[in-house]
Amino acid sequence: MNHSFSFICFSPSHKIKNTSYGTPPGFNEKNLSLAMFSICNKSSYAPSLTQLDVFCASVFAPSTNLYCYSACVLCHIEGLLVGFLNANITFENVDIDFIAIQEEYKRKKIAETLFEIMEKELILKNKIKLVTLEVGVQNQAALHFYEKIGFKKIGIRTKYYKNREDAVIMQKIYQNRE
């Protein structure tokens, strides 16, 4: 099976600002939103997402702030979205909202590749100094993964997930980003 990856960065004017690694086959905002929502909705670790329009707004909504925009890295196999990373960027900070992989594609280094592409295409090229994310306190595989790639635990968000589980707040600091 051949994995393909796409990097898509949405500018404040809601136009695609930068793409690389190829564009996913059949890409359009609606079918991509549906596929992303479907992957997230199956996870107990996704923050509460009860309506598709709320989810789509959080991923694709145009920002009125010129210093705030979103980016996605997608993994697709033969036209099927199997995983993605979505992040919001504000000034020199990135907040990773989701890293979600379909269950049957987990433990195949897809999440690692998604993060590597985000790091290369967004973080290192744009003088990002801080990346934060939340992960379920019981999600040992994810906690280990994030620690392995340089994230540190900095706090707890109580009852953060739809299953009422607490989230560990993690961050990765990039030094010498002048």
Q: Do residues 3 and 75 make contact, with C-beta atoms less than 8 angstroms apart?
A: yes
Tell me the per-residue pLDDT of 52-61, one tens digit each, with 9 for 90 and over: 556 666 566 5
Q: Note down pLDDT in tens along the chain; length 178 residues.
A: 566 777 666 554 434 444 455 556 566 666 777 777 777 777 665 555 554 556 666 566 555 555 667 778 888 887 788 888 888 888 889 999 888 888 888 888 889 999 998 888 878 877 889 999 999 999 998 999 999 999 999 999 999 887 888 999 999 999 765 5
Other residues' Cβ atoms within 10 Å of the Cβ of residue 88: 16
Would you list the domain boundaries of the chain? 4-128
19 φ/ψ sector (left φ>0, alpha ψ -120 to 50, else beta): beta
CATH number for region 4-128? 3.40.630.30
Q: Do residues 34 and 51 make contact, with C-beta atoms less than 8 angstroms apart?
A: no
Query: What is the pTM assigned to this prediction?
Result: 0.79
Which pLDDT value is given to residue 147? 96
